[in-house]
Amino acid sequence: MEEGRKMAKEARKRRAKPKMIPVICPFAFAYQKMTEARTKDTPFWRHLTNARIEVLEAFKSLLEERIEHLREEKGEELSKIEVE
C-alpha cells in the first residue's frame, strides 16, 4: 500500500506545473521606487521632467522627418477625405 502512495505522489510531481517566477522590468521597478519617494520641487525631478520632454521631442523629430520623406516620395499633396 505504501508503495502505491509513493508512486502516486511521484506521478503528481511529474504532472505539476512549474512554479512561476515573477520577472520585473528593472526600469519599471526603478521608476516605481522613484515615484514613491517623489518630491516634486527638487533638482532631480526637474531634470527628469526635462529629460522626458527631450525624449518625446526626439521621437517627434523622427516622426516629422519620416512624414516629410513620405510626402516627397509621393510627390503630391494629401487631400482630406470624408469618413463615415
Chain segment 20-70, per-residue pLDDT in tens:
677 788 888 888 877 777 766 788 888 888 999 999 999 999 999 999 998
Cα–Cα distance measured from residue 30 to residue 14, given in angstroms and rounded to the nearest whole number: 38
> What stretches of the chain adopt beta strand conformation (E)?
none
Cα–Cα distance measured from residue 71 to residue 63, given in angstroms and rounded to the nearest whole number: 12
Question: What local confidence, expressed as pLDDT, does residue 77 receive?
Answer: 66
Question: What local confidence, expressed as pLDDT, does residue 17 receive?
Answer: 67
Question: What local confidence, expressed as pLDDT, does residue 56 receive?
Answer: 94
